[in-house]
Amino acid sequence: MNIFQNIAKYSQEEIFDIIIKNKKIKIERIISFGQITPIDYWYDQSEDEFVLIIEGNAKIEYIDRTIYELKKGDYLYIKAHTKHRVIFTANPTIWLAVFV
């Protein structure tokens, strides 16, 4: 398998491909095409999340208004129950997300 295989050129929705999932871990490839989190919504996940930008760039905002600008090769560790949202993604942005 290759992380760059079967990448759509465009989609109105983000694409989520589960690479591995078991009781302890989930690893996903996410492909964004400019999508962002709705302005009135904050993710509040029960698991820790590690995200790595494989291609493109993105901005993640925490509820305290801290903004992380991520470019190709950058990663961010988001602890469980840290409220956050995606406020920008390039078209396309390829993420590797690990949930534990």
Q: Where are the domains of the chain?
A: 15-99
> What digits encode the pLDDT tens for the residues 20-63?
999 999 999 999 999 999 999 999 999 999 999 999 999 999 99
Residues, the chain, total?
100
- Inter-residue contact 38 to 87 (CB < 8 Å): no
**Does the pLDDT at position 77 exceed 90?**
yes
pTM score, whole prediction: 0.92
Domain 15-99 in this protein, CATH class? mainly beta
Helix locations, 2-93, DSSP H: none
